[in-house]
Every structure is written in structure tokens, then in C-alpha cells.
A and B are shown apart, each in its own frame.
Chain A
Amino acid sequence: MDLNLSPSELGFRDGLRQWLADNLSPHWQADFAKIEGKQAQFEYLRAWQRKVYDGGWAGIAWPKEFGGRGATIIEQVIFTEEMARAGAPNLPGVLGLQLVGPTTITHGTEAQKEQFLRKILSGEEIWCQGFSEPNAGSDLAALRTTATLDGDHFIVNGQKVWTSYGWAADWCELVVRTDPDAPKHKGLTVLLVDMKSPGVDVRPLRQMTGETEFNELFFTDVRVPVENVLGRVNDGWNVAIGTLMHERATLGAGIQIVIRRSFERIVELAKSLGKFADPITRQKLAQCYADIEVMRLNQMRAYSKMANGGTPGPEGSIQKIFWSELNQRFQQMAQEIMGPYGQLTKGSEYSIDDGIWTYNYLRARGNTIEAGTSEIQRLILGHFVLGLPKSY
């Protein structure tokens, strides 16, 4: 057991820190807040990704031959943590970088790699994922969006939901049913769909926080050339599921830093609101601190295991359950500490931190649903880790 960074890991971290010091404006948040309109804000973030790409820091986990750095798991964790620690803007092409790119590298044709990878890294093209449907959530393989072959094109019809970045995306990694007669996992195919194709309709999905983080996608007779099949026809489950495992495994590293920073802010607020001397508040804060530490340590153990040759596996469900439920407890505690101030939203002169805490409180409800509900995660642990009979 050695939790010190190795010389090469330290070199990696220091290089990144130096790059961030040279390239991340300390005032970026203020600059960003002045930008009017979602599209203009998005372009700001895209320009940031371009900068990251030019610095050689985009898609670091990708193999060198595809423009990455072949970074180790630990380096990926360092990257995620340092970006979060510096408060750097999100990379708007995150789905391409984390999910679509790696899947394309594994399953894509030479032509697909040539066409897509470089533009994913630079942010020139933004990707979304068309996975969930109104009737296919946890039971993803029940999806009904169809693609039927018509000459050298597939004709796609159906509806997707909970699509992050749908409105901004140039391309979509779409899972469709190509063989309605096969068992449900066997008849799926992944298509790479140009979002500008005729028949693609993107609608905003307003969520309970009031914002529209997600979209609904409607496909009506959308023509997709057969060369845009990713992997093999009717092998879409295998192609898509590797992506999901990856999503669960890496989601936690940045969240850990973000929650910790929020926690430090809440400790400050407890002090300034005169609550820090209250023994009950102290107990709650300390319990939350312990939970955040346990989350961090669980992640470090999991990453070490992956670094020793494991692939992201069903144990990732432990991390998913832990951070999502922890964040809900944390947001509740934050509300209790702020008392009546906790309810004030953006725009009130009395609100704390411009009302971000009300948003955080509501947004946290989504944590135990997105990327696999807590219920399905527990069943994954029951079946795939503990070896209990499959129950769903």
C-alpha cells in the first residue's frame, strides 16, 4: 500500500497544474456569467475544450495513436481531480471524450476513426448518446427505436429521452433495434447518426430544477448510411454496454472533489451563521466529512484495482450507490444548516451563493436515478458480484 504519487504521476500532475496556471483564467466564471444565451455559453466552453486539446490534455486516456496520451487510470483520476480542484469549465464534448471515442476506438472501422476521433478531441464535433427511451430506462434492452435496412441505408424511427447535450450535438451514438424477432439483447445495433439529418427533431426536456439539461430526440424516417454502423449489426448490446461500464467507473472522481469543495463551503457557512458550536451541527458535519472520506477511499481502492489490470466492472455500482446517496444526504444537511436561507433562489439579494444550494438540493434527486438507479445498482451487486439469482 502506497498512496504517494510515483515520480511519473507527480510529473504528470505538476505538468497539468502548470498548464492550468498558464491557461485557465482565474476570472473565467465571472466572464462566463456575463455571456448571454445558451448557445454563446456553449461556444465559450467549446473554445475551452479547443484550448485543452491544443495543450494535449483532451482524451488523455485514449491511446497515443488516436491523439491521446495513453494515460494510466491513476493519471486519469489525477486529471479529473485537478480539473475539478482548479474549478475549470466542463468540457462540452465530455460524452465523446469519455464514451463515444473509446467505444469507436474499440469497435469502429478505420474510416470511422479517421472521420470522428480528431474532431471529438478538439470539440469541433459534439456527441450525444441516444440510449434511454420512454419505455426503456433500466431495462435498456427493451428499447423500441427501429432501424430497417433500405439499400445502403438504415431507416430510423423512434424516440429517445434524457439525452444530455442533445440540443448541441452534431452526432448521436444511437442504439436501435435492427432485428425485432431476436431475443431483446441480440437484436440491437449502434448507429452513428448525423444530427442534421432530415427527420431528427430535438426538443428540450425541462426537469424539476427548472432548467433543460436534457433533451428528447424524435426520429422520423431518418436515413443513416450503413457505413455508420458501429461494431457489427445486431451486436449493439455488447458495443453499448462497455460504454456504460466506463460511465459508471469514472463518473465519481470529479464528483468527489466537487462535493468536498461544497462541503468546505458549508463548514464556512455553518461558522458564519453561528451554528458551528452547536453539537448537533458538528455531529452532522463530521458524519458527512467521514462519508466523503469513505467515498474518496473507496474510489482510490477501485482505481488501484483497475490500474492492476482490472476493467471497470460491476463493483462500480458500489461507487455509484455511495456517491449518489451521499450527495443527497449532504444536500439535506446543507439545507438544515442554512435554515430558511436554504430555500432562496437565484435573484434574491438574501440568497446564499446566489441560490445554488436550492438548485443543488433539487438536482441531487437525479443522482440516484441517472446512470442507473440505486435500485438497479443493488440488483447488479446482488447478481453480478454476490452471485445471487438474476431477479430482473
Chain B
Amino acid sequence: MQFGLTDSQVLTRNSAREFFSAEYPIAEVRRLCETETAHDRKLWRKTAEQGWCGMTIPEAYGGMGLDLVEVAAAMEEAGRTLVPGPLLAHLTATAAIAACASEEHKQRLLPALATGERIATFAVLEPNPSWDLAAVAMPACEGAKLFVMDAAVTDYIVTLTRDGVFLVDSRGDGVTLTPMPALDTSRKLSAVHYQSAPGLQLATDNNAVQRALDIGTTLLCAEMTGAMQRMLDITVNYVKTRKQFGKPVGAFQLVQALCADMLVATESARSATYFAAYALEQNLPEAQSAVSVAKSYIADAARLTGNNAIQAHGGMGFTWENDIHLYYRRAKAFETAFGDAVFHRERIAQLAL
């Protein structure tokens, strides 16, 4: 029994850490957040060249075919530097295509997605938002999908309808995108309106992508774990140097308790995330509830970590200049993405109790 990364998983993590921290310094992240799309083609191409865009695509279709623990380890690093843009949406959508499409469709679509030449996202939520796939009501492909991540920079939208899963051209006929400006500026949301939009049917049953959504949820958790670690690191550094009453504020016990609680939350988030990834990878019977455990726990743990990070910074934590609010916004967006804590707790009640 070994709950920890293997040597090859450590290698993946280290090269992800090296790459993302070098290519996505916080100044660059801030610049991208200010743009309309939070996406830079050159940077995306660089990211794709390293294989990061094809992590969830099997090798047979040109992807890296990494095991999910490795993908999680890489995404933890992406989250640490707050990598903006469509990476998470793309990994989720490509996992969905890999899971549900026919052999012919996979061969046609996946190689260009693996190299990052094409970008995909996915659309689940409707004006009455629910992550319960049984609640998907939109007919194919007519109506509205909301809160679609990074749709504006993608080529394809994997669209869930009551008639099954369709691949829709993001810039095709009958598709209109409307920005939904939101709290987390590192990941832009769109409303997607479909008017008799032509779509390629990938699957007749939405349940065929449930596992892919669970993978997406887990990768989101991994990203957030990295973000929590970063908030903790920034905060600990700050309270060691900021002085009041002639000593570092980190010498005060109330401040230490804020930091200690962030540490407990962050380490716990990491445990929950890696188990979810492992359980999915191994197809354990408890995989789905493991994902819901991670998502529901981290929703609260990330909020606590963000709250404490801001509080421990004092006035500085409330400024635009300080980076914490970028992470704080990500943490807030995390709460509802892929289903909020209430949704996942109900899923736990159904699956595990």
C-alpha cells in the first residue's frame, strides 16, 4: 500500500511545475485575465507542444494517455500558477469524446485535439442549471446552454442534449456565443445559443460522458488543490515579513491559527483529490462517490483557505495589486463548476449511504 506519487508520476509533476511556472508567471496570467478570452494562441501552442493538451487522450489517438493520477499531478501544478484559458475544458471535452465517440469519429477528431490544433469545450448547463444528466432538456441542437467554459476560443462544443451527445462547431451555422462576464476572469464563460445547429452525434446516451465529467471534476479539484497551496505559500511568506508591534504578524497566534487551518484544508484537499483520481483510474466501485467527496469537501475548504489568506494579509489582502484575489475568484467559481457541494452531497447520499 502506497498513497503517494510513483517515480514517473513525480517526473510528470516536476516537468509540469517547471513548465507552468516558467510560461505562466503571474504577470502573464494577469495580462491574459484582462483580455477578452484569457487565451493566448502562442502560449497554447507551446503548452500543446509539451503534450499537456492531450493528457486525457489515449496514445493511439496522438495523446499522452497518462494515468489520471499523473494528470491530476500536472493539473495541480497548472492550478498553482493559475493557468488561464481552456485547458481544463479541453481536457474534459476530449475525455468525453474519447469515452463516447465511435472509433471512426475518434480517429478523425482526437489527433488534432491532442496536438492542440483544435480546441474543445463541453456544454451541460441550461437556463435551469443542473449537473444531473437526467435533467438535460435541450433538444438537439436547438436552445441555450449557459456557463460554457472558454467556448469563445474553441472549435468544438461537446453538447449534451436530451437526444444524446453532439459535437457542434463553435463557429458554425446556427451557433451564437454571448459572453457571460463572471467573477473568475481567468476562465471566460459563454452562453451558447443553438438555432437548428448542425451537430455530429457522438452518443445517444448522455451517461456515456458521466465518467468524463467525473474526470473533469477531479482535475478541477487538482487545480484547486494547487491554488490552495499557492494561497497558503503566499500568505505564509507575507506574515513572516509583515511587521506590526515590532514583530512579524506571523508571530501572533491568531494569525498562526489562520495559516494552520489553511494547511489542514490544503493537505486534506490533496488527499481527497488524489484518491478520486486513483479510484477513477482503477475503476473502483466507489469512484463516483470519491469524486463527490473531493468536490464537496474542497468547495468549502477552498473558500476557507481564500478567506483566511485575505484575512491574514490585512488591508493588503483587499487590494487589486495582491494576487490573492485572483485565486479567491477561482475558488468561488470552483464551488458551482461541475456541481456544487449540495449536489455532490446528494450524490454521496444516493451512492454511498
Contact A304 B346 (CB under 8 A): no
Q: Is the interface of B mostly helix, strand, loop or mixed?
A: helix
Q: Does B290 contact A (CB under 8 A)?
A: yes
Contact B293 A294 (CB under 8 A): yes
Closest to B295 in A: A290
Q: Does A347 contact B (CB under 8 A)?
A: no
Set A289, A291, A322, A386: member contacting B259, Cβ < 8 A = A386
Given A294-B272, A297-B271, A308-B4, A381–B264 Cβ distance below 8 Å?
A: yes
Q: Which residues of B contact A283 (CB under 8 A)?
A: 342, 345-346, 349
Contact B272 A387 (CB under 8 A): no
Q: Does B348 contact A (CB under 8 A)?
A: yes
Q: Which residues of B contact A392 (CB under 8 A)?
A: 253
Closest to A291 in B: B297
In addition to A1-B4, A287-B296, A388-B236, 7 A-B residue pairs with Cβ atoms within 8 Å of each other are A2-B1, A3-B278, A283-B346, A317-B260, A386-B232, A388-B240, A391-B256
User: What 1/0 flags go to B261-278 for Cβ under 8 Å of A?
Assistant: 101100110111011001
Contact B348 A289 (CB under 8 A): yes
Bound-state Cα–Cα, A278 to B281, Å: 34
Those 8 A-B pairs whose CB atoms lie nearest each other, nearest first: A382-B256, A286-B345, A378-B260, A297-B271, A286-B348, A381-B260, A389-B251, A388-B250
Q: Determine how close the nearest CB of chain A comes to the CB of B10; give it in whole angstroms.
A: 11
Residue ranges of A at the interface with B (Cβ–Cβ < 8 Å): 1-6, 9, 74, 267, 276, 279, 282-283, 285-287, 289-291, 293-294, 297-298, 300-301, 303-305, 307-308, 315, 317-318, 321-322, 375, 377-379, 381-383, 385-389, 391-392
Given A3-B278, A293-B293, A387-B236, A379–B1 Cβ distance below 8 Å?
A: no
Contact B345 A322 (CB under 8 A): no
User: What 1/0 flags go to B57-88 for Cβ under 8 Å of A?
Assistant: 00000000000010000000000000000000
Of the A-B pairs whose beta carbons lie under 8 Å apart in the complex, a sample of 11, sorted by A's number, is A1-B6, A1-B278, A267-B353, A286-B296, A378-B253, A382-B250, A386-B263, A387-B236, A388-B256, A389-B247, A391-B256
- Count of chain B residues with a beta carbon within 8 Å of a chain A beta carbon: 49
Q: Which residues of B contact A294 (CB under 8 A)?
A: 268, 271-272, 293, 297
Contact B342 A388 (CB under 8 A): no
Q: Determine how close the nearest CB of chain B comes to the CB of A259; give it in whole angstroms.
A: 15
Bound-state Cα–Cα, A315 to B278, Å: 23
Contact B272 A378 (CB under 8 A): no
Q: Does B134 contact A (CB under 8 A)?
A: no
Closest to B278 in A: A1
Q: Which residues of A contact B248 (CB under 8 A)?
A: 388-389
Q: Determine how close the nearest CB of chain B comes to the CB of A240; give it in whole angstroms.
A: 24
Most buried by A among B240, B274, B353: B353
Bound-state Cα–Cα, A375 to B256, Å: 10
Most buried by B among A9, A285, A392: A285
Q: Does B257 contact A (CB under 8 A)?
A: yes
Bound-state Cα–Cα, A322 to B229, Å: 18
Closest to A390 in B: B251
Contact B1 A301 (CB under 8 A): no
Q: Determine how close the nearest CB of chain B comes to the CB of A303; give it in whole angstroms.
A: 8
Q: Does B212 contact A (CB under 8 A)?
A: no
Contact B256 A378 (CB under 8 A): yes
Q: Does B252 contact A (CB under 8 A)?
A: yes
